[in-house]
Amino acid sequence: MEREEQLGQSVQDVDLIVDTDVGLDDMAALVMLTTSPRSPRLRLVTTVHGVCAAPVAAPLAQRLLLGLGVSALVVRGATCPSSSEHAELPGWVEKHRAKLEKVSEVLELPELPEELSKELSKPSDCQTASTALLELDIKGVTLLALGPLTNVAAAAKANLSKFREVVGKIIVAGDNTKANPFNFRLDPVALDVVLNSGVPIQMVGTCCRPDAKELEGRLEKSLNHPMLLKILEQHPLSLVQDPVTAAYFLAPEIFTVAPVEVHGSSCPISVMEAKDLDVTAYAELLKTCFAR
């Protein structure tokens, strides 16, 4: 069987929800998910506070999907953490946000229809996103969380039994390291709720990120997807960040995983954590998505 046929074959006909703070690496991950030879059914994209300012996030995500020719519901989500006790945003976030304000023009994304633009620009909160998630008429969906877990926690708290019915597993961009990952640090209260939700959790953290120079050498300038190339011009490290978490969804076999215990509010919780990535296989996956 050819490598392209092997990669991602396990996600055929799988429903997917993406919860994202719409950074440039998140956008690269969305492009990757929608251009994969065996793309999942993208049922819902919810936006959450983080590297993209709330008024920008949902319209930007929708314009990106329209530019990719993908029809998926985009819903505004949380604009702030579950609790006021959270770490302040590091200085680099402001620079990133300034870049995101202009990125739609750089990427030449289509304008939104007027009514849709008005809808996505309305004030939002985590309940907006959690209601959309819980109202999906599907069971066992995979939820790919690329930002803080505020929306996800709100859905679990709103109706835990329904949440467990709709969501079959959660793949989280974060890990169990002492480094206190960015997404977890922005809303530790939400992380605790999600850990205790009873839904299987798989973490993909920084230990799986390949060296950028090594990855570049393996790709040998073989990527030619125009939107991805523009994203990489704006943020050259995009492919070693959230697309790695998307790769775990598309091709979990290229990772080494192991069970670990993380501490929730009441007792240790066992989750699966990606410990290592086959960089050669990851480069091949990127080629199947972007070298076309």
Query: Which residue did the predictor score with more confidence, 258 or 7?
Result: 258
Which pLDDT score is estimated for 7? 43
The DSSP H or E segment spanning 269 is strand 268-277
Give residue 81's pLDDT band: very low, low, confident or very high (50, 70, 90).
very high
Distance CA 52, CA 28 (A): 14
- Of the listed ranges 36-40, 101-105, 106-110, 211-215, the least confidently predicted one is 36-40
Which pLDDT score is estimated for 1? 32
The answer to whether 188 and 263 are in contact (CB under 8 A) is no
Averaged confidence pLDDT in the chain: 91
Which pLDDT score is estimated for 265? 64
Give residue 33's domain range: 3-290
Residue 8 has pLDDT above 60, yes or no: no
DSSP string, 243-254: HHHHHHHH-GGG
Section 28-50 average pLDDT: 94
Give residue 268's pLDDT band: very low, low, confident or very high (50, 70, 90).
confident
Domain count for the chain, please give it: 1
Section 39-43 average pLDDT: 92
- Of the listed ranges 127-131, 185-189, 242-246, the least confidently predicted one is 185-189
Report helix, strand and coil shares of the chain as percent, to nearest 5.
50, 15, 35
Residue 124 has pLDDT above 90, yes or no: no
Section 252-281 average pLDDT: 90
The answer to whether 172 and 145 are in contact (CB under 8 A) is yes
Give residue 114's pLDDT band: very low, low, confident or very high (50, 70, 90).
very high
Residue 6 has pLDDT above 80, yes or no: no
Which pLDDT score is estimated for 233? 95
Query: Which residue did the predictor score with more confidence, 292 or 83?
Result: 83
Burial call 133-151: b when 16+ CB within 10 Å, e when fewer: bbebeeeebbbbbbbbbbb
CATH number of the domain at 142, please: 3.90.245.10
Tokens of 135: 């109202």
Distance CA 180, CA 186 (A): 10
Which pLDDT score is estimated for 3? 37
